[in-house]
Structure 1
Amino acid sequence: MKKQTKGILAFAFLGGIMVTSGVVIAIPGLAPDEDNPELTITGTPADNFPDADRPRFCGSGNAQSTDFVTEYSIPTECTNPLAIVTDYDGNVWFAQTNTGKLAKFDPKTETFTEYDNPTWPQNGRSMMWGIDYAPDGSVWFTDETFDSVWKFSTIDERYDRLGYPSEGDSLPQRLQVDGSKIIINDFTGNKLTFLDPNQSSDDVNYLSIPSPVDDSVTADFTVDAENNVWFTNWLFQQGGVLVKFNQNGYFDSVANSNEQLLPLLDFIEIYQLPVQLLTPNGAVVSDDGMIWLADTTSSSFFSFNPVTEEFTQYVTATPLLSTYGNQTGVIKTPISRPYWIDSDDQGRIIFNEQNANNISVFDPKSQSLVEYHIPSKNPYWGDCDPGTGLMVSDCGLAQIFDFAVDGKKIWFTEWVENNIGVVDTSVPLPFEIQLDSETMSLSPGDSKEFSFILSSKSSDKVLGGTLILSPTRDFLNVELAENDSESFQLVTGSAQTIHTMISASDDAITGEYKILIGTQSSDIAVSKYVTVTIE
């Protein structure tokens, strides 16, 4: 029961229970169980769920595709795929919540191989949030239910389980192979753990570094070019801090002093998070040294400049109505929930938007954002039931909890649709956004006209969609001119000029802010950021 409770709390922290504000989705252990739920034995992992819960967790339809996204159905029913990584040959590896197995997908042959885990308990389930591929051909992944770190040798196809130090309420979460170490954040145990990957499962030594903020969670981490580890400590809905840990200095001092632990404060720097950033789960450092954080209780992601010590907030497009449904009308402010975040070899920032069913690509150089909509949706994870017991088609979420960047391809898992998929970022975009200007200055209470050109790049079809006009702060506003409409259609090769008015309220705060300008169709959103300076 303790483990089940721990998993539920973590799921809530990470944004998994709340689809949007005001809508709670039932998960095992959260709502009271029926006295005798009907359970049809199938001999598959679906047997871990009563019949009534199977559509919610095992999938609601077949794999789908768009011009930009291709999905593949996992042959075994109801595996709940979660953490995902690619190897040096382009193979895709992912862990299965509902089976304890690791699986491989070969993109060349489009075939799956699932590797039985002989030591996994019968009917065992675990959220496996972290995974990485090591140079020796092994795949490492975390397991929160059984407080474990697993090593799978892709050469001899053998699993080794390493017990994780579980003092208190531990939850081994994200994992990264970093040279001669493996780094793991303990989400509820409030520490970073370092593991030597060359140890045997019979003799495991961990070094756990306590986080500087008591009673907080320790979220995702990233390692910069100087080997500093950056991570966040935060309290649910109360904000927190960004921490820089000088691991080279720490471990060198430990070696020279013959002490196993030294005072952490001598080797860290702490930066207060902005009040707008409440739940920073994902973290990554880009090639220019900027730290990027994904905020799971909003529609925002943030950059942090270690030189100026300044944060910049960016906003995503509002989720499509098809993701949340809103059949009851209770969802007043849908949010996208950026979750994990990564970077690619082009310096672009990649993140998943859990509540918008998107994989998104932000280019800091061009200040452009492309949000790829994933076609599969599970209606049991949205407000999609009109009250008749019949589910609305094309509504809901696939629960895209993890992704892996491999060149111009982004692989991802669909936790409740039993699929994996890939975004091909090399496919030409159907729209182009040309801004009148990339910057604007306003005084509090002022307004200025702003125009942009929306062009069709498609060669064979009429394009339609809706405009994106999204400020990051409430004291900024973007309104269309009287004769312009939020929806549009463009024929092949045509363009349309959009006229808007950008204004700042009387209580606008001095500083630089971002406004997202663009367009969104059923498959993709293409936008650019305007930098507004309040003087």
Structure 2
Amino acid sequence: MVNSLIALLHIQIIAIALLATVFIASAAFATFQISYAQQIPGSFEELVTYEKDSSFIREYPLDVEQPGLRGVTTDSEGNVWAIYSTNKTTTIIRLEPQSGKLTEYHVGGDTQADDAVINLAAGQLTFDRLRNVVWFTDARTNSIGKLDLANNKVDLLQIPNGMAGPMGLALSQDNASLWFTEITGDKIGRVDIESLKITEYLVGQDSGPTLLTFDDKGILWVTLSFSNSILRVDTQALTSGQSSAMTELRLLGEDTFSPFGIAVVDDKVYISDHGSSRIVVADTGFANHQSYWTTPAVAFPASLPSQVVADKYGNIYFPQHGGNRISMIDNATGVMTEYEIPTGPLATAVFIAASDDGKVWFTEWAANKIAYLDTTAKAPFTIGVEKTTVTLDTDTPQSIGVSLNSSVGGTDSVSILQVEIGLTGMTESGLKGVTYEAQPPRVNLQQTGSAESQIQISTLENAIPGDYVAMVRAFAPEQDGLVVSKLYPVELVLDVPEPIASQDSNQPQNADTTLQNALRIGAPLAAAGLIAVAIYRWKRARKS
């Protein structure tokens, strides 16, 4: 078992952070972690082996050697701000997109945190339009940073909790306060901007508050990565001392997740499950939820959706940390589009920000690049389905009609000579208990302008009854071998008897289940991409 894991560790440096956490309780394996961690700097080149051209994504490389790009935001003039943080220094970077000019603002202050905390609590930024200020979290100095753009002065506000690990950051709707998470401090914090006073609120032991956002009603939503839940916060009630101000929400039934990014649009909560390959979409009361599955990752076992943001139209965007793609969920149609990042196979895009000019910015941690998705560049085809719910039994196959159309104004860099059609999603490991056949499996939209296909679905003997979501997928090649995908969610209801094998509770865990559990446990750690995080949690457990 250990030998097979060692082989995996040498394939991907990020896999270290995920799989190693399964063995956190083992001091012997922790010793192996430490020895292997010393080899990390020489392994980054395994994550970035190619650079291609894309009509949808443009990248700006930084002249640095060590990975360190974290959060990203934009200001009112269209400039892009990112935080570059190592275990010794913190730098705020301004990118002027039109000229490509980069300006650095060095953050002083002594290092206050352990390396593992710095790596885990990746910095975030937000732009304060009212004051022309860039606020940021800095785990290295255990502080909230303020960069005043009027005089380029940087000030640091020390967080009272010395082991906070400040990470997520959000400005309140009234612009009077700044809220942040403490991923290793198990608290959320509030900065009164007028007095610069910091107030902290305990969330729960080992809860891991990660990212946060305000909805249009002024409610604060926080992902709790370590406790697999979401925190709903009435900030007015919280500041007035009401005990009912915070409500912890979980997925119903046996479903569990590793929440990381979060956005709220039209009373829908979009949460990235950073331990798998899906976005969870729930109502604000968490009475119902649905899964949007991404295309399976090529270079990694799961696509690991990360930070989630909404643009001014309510469209949802998120990077796939393991899938090396940027995804968009159309607020009007529910169709998800995926764009491959031209640097790969793992540029390691975790953080993202939507600007008002149609650009969605993100940082590439392993590739040392700031990049954007141009949302005005459209894929040259659309997808629709005949029905969005299909019920299957053991006897009768069912079919889904798929309609594809070429779209006016789409980029001509994507070939629609052969648009391929298929079915994906349903579970973390892909389709389970069903098989499908698309007829035809590919269509030529350039010749016909529109086409129809039928996806026939049948159950297999190992089908397990229940409600699932599969994604009807159509994809076409872009220039340089990149792929653009359109995915349409369809509910699959399996009305089948319980398989005999699954009724035996003594059945051993299969490899898929073991991998899923490893991803679940290690998901929050993968955002940093370093093994030191696992070491930190092991040390913390020993001290407890």
Q: Which interval holds the TM-score relative to the shorter structure? A: 0.7 to 0.9
Determine the structure 2 residue equivalent to 1:279.
258
> What secondary structure is seen at the aligned counterpart in 2 of 1:360?
strand
CA contact (8 A) 2:189 2:199 kept: yes
- Does 2:85 correspond to 1:94? no
Partner of 2:519: none
Alpha-carbon deviations, 1:366-391, whole Å to 9, x = none?
120011111011xxxxxxxxxxxxxx
Letter in 1 for 2:144: V
The reply to whether residue 448 of structure 1 matches residue 398 of structure 2 is yes
CA RMSD, Structure 1 to Structure 2 (Å): 3.5
Deviation at 1:282, TM superposition (A): 0.8
Residues 23 and 147 (structure 1), Cα distance of their counterparts in 2 relative to 1, 3 Å cut = closer
2:349 is aligned to 400
Q: Show the counterpart of 1:233.
A: 224
Quote the Cα distance in structure 1 between the aligned partners of 2:225 and 2:349.
Answer: 23
Whole-Å Cα distance in 1 between the matches of residues 305 and 125 of structure 2? 19
Residue number in structure 2 paired with 1:340? 307
Amino acid at match of 2:180: I
Question: 2: distance between equivalents of 1:172 and 1:308?
Answer: 27
Q: Is the 8 A contact 2:84 2:92 kept in 1?
A: yes
Contact 2:426/2:468 (<8 A) preserved = no
Alpha-carbon contact 1:75-1:112 (below 8 Å) kept: no
Equivalent residue number for residue 515 of structure 1: 471
State the alpha-carbon separation in 1 of the partners of residues 321 and 282 from structure 2.
22
The CA distance in 2 between the partners of 1:34 and 1:294, in whole Å, is: 28
Q: Where has structure 1 moved over 6 Å in runs of 4 or more?
A: 19-24
State how 1:518-529 maps to structure 2 within 5 Å.
518-519=474-475, 521=477, 522-529=482-489
Distance 2:420 2:161 in 1: 49
d(CA) in 1 for partners of 2:169 and 2:222? 13
Q: Quick check: 1:117–1:159 contact (8 Å CA) kept in 2? A: yes
- Cross-structure match for 1:318: 296
Distance 1:165 1:20, change over 3 A: closer
Shift of residue 362 of structure 1? Answer: 0.3
Correspondent of 1:155 among 150, 153, 158: 150
Label 1:165 to 1:86 Cα distance change in 2 as closer, same or farther (>3 A).
Answer: same
What's 2:127 paired with?
A: 133
CA contact (8 A) 2:381 2:416 kept: no
Matches of residues 53-202 of structure 1 in structure 2 within 5 Å?
A: 53=43, 55=45, 64-78=52-66, 80-98=68-86, 99-119=89-109, 126-127=118-119, 128-135=122-129, 136-167=131-162, 169-178=163-172, 179-199=175-195
Alignment of 1:373-388 (within 5 A): 373-377=340-344
Going from structure 1 to structure 2, the CA distance change for 1:31 and 1:398 (only over 3 Å counts) comes to: farther
Partner of 2:24: none
Structure 1 CA distance, aligned partners of 2:37 and 2:374? 44
Q: Deviation digits for residues 46-66 of structure 1, max 9, x if unmatched? A: xxx96x356468x6666x531
2:199 matched to which residue of 1?
A: 207
2:67 and 2:367 in contact (8 A); partners too: no
What's the offset of the Cα at 1:33?
Answer: 6.2
| TM-score with structure 2 setting the length | 0.74
What's the secondary structure of 1:101's corresponding residue?
strand
Distance (whole Å) between structure 2 residues aligned to residue 509 and residue 34 of structure 1 = 44
**Letter matched to residue 275 of structure 2:** T
AA in 1 matched with 2:185: G
2:271 matches 1:293: yes
Q: How many residues are paired up?
A: 453
- Structure 1 residue 508: Cα displacement: 4.9
- % identical equivalent positions: 21
Query: CA distance change for structure 1 residues 465 and 335 in 2, over 3 Å: closer, same or farther?
Result: farther
Q: Residue 155 and residue 30 in structure 1: after superposition, are their counterparts in 2 closer, same or farther (change >3 A)?
A: farther
Deviates more, 1:338-347 or 1:443-452: 443-452
CA gap of 1:439–1:34, structure 2 versus 1, over 3 A, is closer
Give SS of 2:349's match: coil
**What displacement does 1:23 show?**
9.5
Please say if residues 456 and 492 of structure 1, whose CA atoms lie closer than 8 Å, have aligned partners that are also in contact. no
Larger RCO: 1 or 2 (CA < 8 Å, sep 6+): 2
The amino acid of 2:365's aligned partner reads W
Letter in 1 for 2:90: G
1:164 is displaced (CA, Å) by 1.8
Instruction: Give the letter for the 1:224 counterpart.
Output: D
More displaced, 368-377 or 515-524?
515-524
- Structure with the higher fraction of residues in helix conformation: 2
SS at match of 2:134: strand
Q: Distance in 1 between matches of 2:322 and 2:455?
A: 28
Matched, 1:497 2:440: no
Secondary structure, counterpart of 1:402 in structure 2: strand
Amino acid at match of 1:32: S
Q: What is the distance in 2 between the residues matched to 1:34 and 1:193?
A: 32
Q: Any conservation in 1 of the 2:294–2:425 contact (CA below 8 Å)?
A: no
Cα distance 1:54–1:268, how it changes in 2: closer, same or farther (>3 A)? Answer: closer
Whole-angstrom CA distance in 2 between matches of 1:76 and 1:341: 27
Whichever residue aligns with residue 529 of structure 1, its letter is P
Aligned equivalent of 1:32: 35
